[in-house]
C-alpha cells in the first residue's frame, strides 16, 4: 500500500522504497514533522508512545523514540498498549502529545503512526495539514548532544487505565461480579490479550481467550466482522458463554457475540451502551454518518437528541463536545464515553455492556431483540489516485434528485427505507460504500445500485 497521509496519521506497508511505503526514512521524516510541529505549538516537549502486537512494532518504536529524542523531546514508552491506554497516558503524564504505533484493523504487513495532541485526542485536520507541510518541507532542526530527550518506560499505563474504568460512575462492578458471567475473547494475537483478561478478572468475569499469543501473527483478518469470527462464535456456543468479545489489534473497536454464537455485531455495541447510559444520565447521542440508524432510534426511545458527524474519531469527538453528548462513538464498535476520555475504548465499552446485562437481568440476545432491526452492507470500490470522486458524486445525485442527501463527509443518501453512504477511505485507496435497510437484501440492492453508478 502506498504511504497514506491523512487525518488518521501516516499509514502504509512495511518495506519497499522510501516515499512509497512506511520505510525507516518515512517514519523518521514524519515523526520529525510531528515533533517539530509539537515544539512550535508550545506544547510540553514530552510524548507518550505505545504499540500493538505487530511484528514491525519494535522497529517502528525504536525509530520513533530516537527521532523524538533527537529533537530534544522526552519519550515515555508504554510498550505493548491499547490505543485508549496511550490516549489516557498522555493526560496522566501531562505530556505534550502521543503517538500510537498501530494500523488498527489492517493486516500485519501494515503499520501506522496515529498522532495525538496534549489532550490525548487525535489531532485536528488543520493541525495535521500543518504537520504534513513541516514534514514535507524538511525545515527541521535537530538538537545538540547535550539536549537530547530522555527515554523512560511506563509499565503501569494499563493498570491505570483499568483502574479508571473500574472507578467509572456507571460501571456496576458489584452487580457484574454477582452475575458470574462467562465470556470468550478473540484477542487476534495482539494487545487485547493483555488488556481485556485483567479487566475481566477485576470484574469477576470468567474469560476464555482464543488467539491469545501476543505475536502479531493475526490468526485471521483482524477486522472484527462476522465472516472473520467463526471460531469465536463456535467457542461461545460450545462453552455456553454469556458473551463473545472481538477486538481489533489496538482494542478501540468492540464487536459482540450472544449466547449460542449469535452475531450481535459492531453496530449494536454503541446501541447497547447508549441504551444503558441514557437510562442513567440523559443527553445527546453522537455517531458518524456511516453508523446505524439504530443509534438515532435508541436516542429517541429515551427522549434525547441524536447528531451525526463526519467519519473519523476526531470528528465524532468534536461533535460530542459541541452538543454535550452523554455518549458517542462509531458503528464500527468504537465507544466514546466523555466521563473517561474522548477516545474509542473497548475496555469501557465492555464494562458498560456488562453493567447493562447485570442490572437488566437480560441476555445480550434479549437486549438485541428489543432494538429496531437493521441490516448493513459494508462494501467498497477500489480506485486509483486519479479517480474523479466528485464527478461520481455528481452522477449519483443526478440519479436521485428527490432523495435527501448530506455532503459533510462524502455523500450520504437517505431513502425512506434505508440509506447509502459513499466516502473515500482515510486508510486505503478505496471508496467505501455502506448501505443499511430493514433487510440484508434491500441493503445489498441499495449498495449494488449505487456501485453501478460509480
> Among all residues, which ones are annotated catalytic?
104
- Please give the Cα distance from 450 to 80 (Å, whole number): 42
Cβ pair 152, 74 in contact under 8 A: yes
450, three cell numbers: 449505487
Strands 46-51 and 74-80: what pairing? parallel
In order of 81, 139, 259, the CA distances from 183 in angstroms are 22, 52, 10
Say whether 301 sits in a helix, a strand or coil: helix
- Please give the Cα distance from 362 to 257 (Å, whole number): 14
**Closest to 304 measured CA to CA, from 323, 324, 278, 339:** 278
- Please give the Cα distance from 376 to 255 (Å, whole number): 14
What are the φ/ψ torsions at residue 399 (nearest 5 degrees)?
-75, -25
Say whether 120 sits in a helix, a strand or coil: coil
- Please give the Cα distance from 313 to 327 (Å, whole number): 13
What are the φ/ψ torsions at residue 412 (nearest 5 degrees)?
-120, 135
- Supply the DSSP symbol for 386: T
- Please give the Cα distance from 302 to 291 (Å, whole number): 19
386, three cell numbers: 486519479
Amino acid at each position: 500500500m502506498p504511504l497514506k497521509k491523512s487525518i488518521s496519521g501516516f499509514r502504509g506497508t512495511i518495506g519497499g522504497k522510501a516515499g512509497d511505503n512506511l520505510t525507516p526514512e518515512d517514519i523518521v521524516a514524519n515523526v520529525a514533522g510531528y515533533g517539530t510541529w509539537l515544539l512550535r505549538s508550545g506544547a510540553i516537549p514530552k510524548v507518550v508512545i505505545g504499540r500493538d502486537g505487530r511484528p514491525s512494532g519494535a522497529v517502528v518504536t525504536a525509530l520513533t523514540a530516537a527521532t523524538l529524542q533527537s529533537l530534544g523531546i522526552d519519550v515515555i514508552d508504554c510498550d505493548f498498549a491499547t490505543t485508549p491506554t496511550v490516549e489516557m497516558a498522555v493526560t496522566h503524564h501531562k505530556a505534550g502529545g502521543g503517538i500510537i504505533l498501530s494500523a488498527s484493523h489492517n493486516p500485519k504487513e501494515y503499520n501506522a503512526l496515529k498522532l495525538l495532541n496534549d489532550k490525548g485526542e487525535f489531532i485536528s485536520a488543520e493541525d495535521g495539514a500543518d504537520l504534513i507541510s513541516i514534514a514535507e518541507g524538511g525545515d527541521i532542526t535537530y538538537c545538540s548532544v547535550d539536549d537530547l530527550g530522555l527515554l523512560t518506560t511506563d509499565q503501569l499505563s494499563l493498570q491505570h487505565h483499568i483502574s479508571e474504568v473500574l472507578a467509572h460512575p456507571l460501571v456496576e462492578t458489584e452487580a457484574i461480579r454477582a452475575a458470574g458471567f462467562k465470556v470468550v475473547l478473540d484477542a487476534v494475537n495482539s494487545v487485547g490479550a493483555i488488556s481485556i483478561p485483567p479487566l475481566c478478572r477485576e470484574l469477576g468475569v470468567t474469560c476464555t481467550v482464543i488467539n491469545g499469543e501476543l505475536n502479531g501473527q493475526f490468526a485471521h483478518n483482524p477486522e472484527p466482522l462476522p465472516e472473520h469470527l467463526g471460531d469465536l462464535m463456535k467457542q461461545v456456543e460450545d462453552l455456553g458463554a454469556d458473551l463473545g468479545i472481538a477486538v481489533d489489534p489496538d482494542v478501540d473497536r468492540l464487536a459482540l457475540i450472544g449466547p449460542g454464537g449469535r452475531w450481535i455485531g459492531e453496530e449494536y455495541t454503541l446501541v447497547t451502551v447508549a441504551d444503558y447510559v441514557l437510562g442513567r444520565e440523559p443527553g445527546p447521542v453522537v455517531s458518524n454518518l456511516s453508523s446505524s440508524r439504530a443509534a438515532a432510534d435508541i436516542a429517541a426511545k429515551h427522549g434525547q437528541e441524536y447528531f451525526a458527524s463526519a467519519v473519523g474519531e476526531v470528528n465524532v469527538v468534536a461533535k460530542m463536545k459541541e452538543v454535550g453528548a452523554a455518549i458517542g462513538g462509531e458503528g464500527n464498535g468504537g465507544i466514546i464515553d466523555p466521563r473517561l476520555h474522548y477516545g474509542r475504548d473497548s475496555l469501557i465499552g465492555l464494562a458498560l455492556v456488562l453493567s447493562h446485562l447485570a442490572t437488566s437481568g437480560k441476555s445480550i440476545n434479549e437486549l438485541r431483540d428489543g432494538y429496531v432491526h437493521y441490516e448493513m452492507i459494508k462494501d467498497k470500490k477500489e480506485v486509483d489516485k486519479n479517480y474523479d470522486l466528485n464527478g461520481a458524486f455528481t452522477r449519483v445525485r443526478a440519479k436521485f434528485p428527490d432523495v435527501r442527501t448530506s455532503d459533510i463527509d462524502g455523500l450520504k443518501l437517505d431513502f425512506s427505507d434505508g440509506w447509502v453512504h459513499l466516502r473515500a477511505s482515510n486508510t486505503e485507496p478505496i471508496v467505501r460504500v455502506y448501505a443499511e435497510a430493514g433487510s440484508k437484501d434491500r441493503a445489498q440492492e441499495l449498495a449494488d445500485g449505487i456501485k453501478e453508478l460509480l
